[in-house]
Copies of this chain bind each other. A is one copy, B any other.
Amino acid sequence: MDTVSIVRAVARHVCGTAPRECVFSSRVRIARNIRATPFPHRGDEGALRGPLAVAIAAMEGLNKAGGGFELVDLARLPTLEKEALVECHLISRDLLLAERVSALVVSKKSGASILVNEEDHFRIQVLSGGLRLKRALALAKRIERELDQHTTFAKHDGLGFLTACPTNVGTGLRASVMLQLPALFFARRLETCLQRRVGRALAVRGIYGEGSGPLACLLQISNQTTAGMDEAEALAQVTKAAQDISRDEQRARASIQERFAWDVEDLVYRAAATLTAARSINSGEAMDRLSQVRLGIDLGLLDGVDRRIVDQLMIFIRPASLQVLVGEPMAPRERDMRRAKLIREHLQGLIEVP
């Protein structure tokens, strides 16, 4: 399977949430390891072939039920394509340089994957657009059961599932949601909201730009705890935080539209105009402006453009993904030009600034 189609599949699964939905995407990840087998960073080639064989057997099992999984040999994949998979959150940065036996078993159909021999032998992951953690967990558990058919997982009676890093011991589950919170950021209420809504059992992560706010106003909320808490409890905590923050964001949207209508229009229309006019744009600016256009669509300031196109662009314009989509490696300057062109091709004629 080529990387382009994986990037496109991820975009298809992640994008296209309900209108005005603040949760950009949901992700469930389960870490599992084979009993009495060294963890990947300790295993020799022979030991690493074991998990790969198990994953292939599970893939065949899943495909009998129409799973549509395919195998990507990461050891042979060019670095640029691996970087695109990192941008799609399918593999970790760790695997960029590692030359050990590793693979990604991925389904374009469902957006589910098994990462083999990263930090753990298996990392089952399911990505979905919007707030859909339960559905994602159900699918992840189905994949886990299939793996379980072909091996025995490392498990301790008291601790639960064993993992390479102690922070994953127990359920091995990480449930996370990516939220886009432009109005809270605009109204300078993001910090207060997070302090109030995110308990100690949860972690917040964002890509912070140059001193301003999180890139494209995107923040990830996930459970910190995997030991001493069951899967349902972890999911419930993340879901509740996401819902509470979403309500705060919706309130902030109503409030900024009432109190700062001109400033919001200024922000949105400038973003739309810049994206349809720029001949060169770096990924940071593009992400921020796309997020502002997305807000504009949600607030009814821009019409004629499907929010899904904007969401997909946020995935396609990332440095490596862009190069993989275009089909050739490019220097940063060239990339900025090509990125601007891609955005214009998608948005021009659709977005009209009144």
Contacts and interface: CB of A to CB of B under 8 A. Distances in A.
Nearest to A333: B262
A176 interface: no
Contact of A274 (B270, B279, B280, B340): B270
B266 A340 contact: yes
B277 A353 contact: yes
A265 interface: yes
Given A270-B274, A273-B278, 8 more contacts: A262-B337, A265-B279, A266-B279, A266-B340, A270-B277, A273-B273, A273-B274, A273-B277
Interface of A: 262-263, 265-266, 269-270, 272-274, 276-280, 337, 340, 353
Integer count of this chain's copies in the complex: 2
Contacts of A279: 262-263, 265-266, 269
19 contacts: A262-B279, A262-B280, A262-B337, A263-B280, A266-B278, A266-B340, A269-B277, A269-B278, A270-B277, A270-B278, A272-B277, A273-B273, A273-B274, A273-B276, A273-B277, A273-B278, A274-B274, A274-B277, A277-B353
A171 to B, nearest CB: 49
Nearest to A264: B279
The 7 A-B pairs at the shortest CB distance, nearest first, are namely: A273-B277, A273-B273, A266-B279, A269-B277, A277-B353, A266-B280, A265-B279
Nearest to A353: B277
Contacts of A272: 277
A273 B351 CA distance: 12
A279 B354 CA distance: 10
Contacts of A274: 270, 273-274, 277
Contacts of A262: 279-280, 337
A233 B272 CA distance: 53
A340 B353 CA distance: 14
A137 to B, nearest CB: 43
A266 B341 CA distance: 11
A353 to B, nearest CB: 4
